[in-house]
A = this chain, B = another copy of it.
């Protein structure tokens, strides 16, 4: 019977496209293109903390890579290589095969070579490191937001959180809505092309993994500024249409994580360009607020015009 090592080798060995030496030596070898800066990130996904142990392994394979790809999208960088380290309890051929299928579906979708990795026995844990390129000086960090900048969000944030609420039995969604929300949760679509198009346009950016307000707080902290979010401008319609009441829709949108949409700031002079880009890439875009110069102050402006501060409700794994 083949060992897990054999199974990993069989399912995870694929031809590399732009890697001089991939899986099988002490290190992988590759050469970033001249004039580029390397953008690198690592994310560890742990069974029981980030996903249920019985999660569909193909979806898990996709998501494991996708959340890392999303980190590069949030820098405006182009993903190029990845390493996968995994710790596995006893696992069977079908499970590892499905994991690999999902992983490579995402790798192929975003032009990523699996350049190497590590396999060991232990509690289920998947750790991807991703490497991308961006022209020197073009990366979009969290630290560049200025007073008066608009605040924008891509797509329909909150669908993943609504899917999770459905899984937890807090709400029962209609089958087609459940499918769409669970797809957002299990197969997030990193906004790589959109992120690249924002080079020279966005002043600060990150991807929403822990909740919109909490992640906006990271921009405020890094940029030493504040923000007013206009609740009227929030893209709540997709959540309402999927069956969430007003309160749940708002909670999912503002505090839910796992959507991997891009949250960014840009000068008001970029509005037309951004609306055009949204149309061109067929990706909805919502202008949800404005950057202020009051450090770390996050205000919500309600429909009646009243304003109130809000804590940064990011999801804390240790809370």
Q: Closest chain B residue to A7 by CB distance?
A: B318
Contact of A115 among B40, B115, B121, B122 (CB under 8 A): B40
Inter-subunit contact B24/A39 (CB<8 Å): no
Is there an interface contact between A44 and B127, defined as CB atoms closer than 8 Å? Answer: yes
A259 to chain B, nearest CB (A): 14
Would you list which residues of chain A between 2 and 45 have a CB under 8 Å from chain B?
Answer: 3-5, 20-21, 24-32, 34, 37-44
A residues lining the B interface (CB < 8 Å) = 3-5, 20-21, 24-32, 34, 37-44, 46-50, 71-72, 74-75, 77, 81, 83-87, 115-123, 125, 127, 129-132, 134, 136, 139, 141-143, 205-207, 222, 316-319
Query: Once the chains are docked, how many angstroms separate the CA of A71 from the CA of B85?
Result: 15
B27 touches A122 (CB 8 A): no
24 contacts between A and B (CB under 8 A): A3-B316, A25-B75, A25-B206, A27-B40, A27-B72, A27-B77, A27-B130, A29-B75, A29-B134, A31-B37, A31-B136, A40-B129, A42-B83, A43-B118, A44-B87, A44-B118, A46-B87, A47-B122, A48-B122, A49-B122, A50-B120, A122-B125, A125-B127, A129-B129
The reply to whether A42 and B122 contact each other, CB–CB distance below 8 Å, is: no
Known A29-B139, A40-B28; contact A49-B116, beta-carbon cutoff 8 A: no
Contact B26 A30 (CB under 8 A): no
Smallest Cβ-Cβ distance to A50: which chain B residue: B120
> Contact: A26 with B46, CB < 8 Å?
no
Chain B hits for A83, CB < 8 A: 40-42, 129
Shortest distance between the CB of A191 and any CB in chain B (Å): 12
Whether the Cβ atoms of B3 and A71 lie closer than 8 Å is no
Residues from chain B with Cβ under 8 Å of A317 in the complex: 5, 119-121
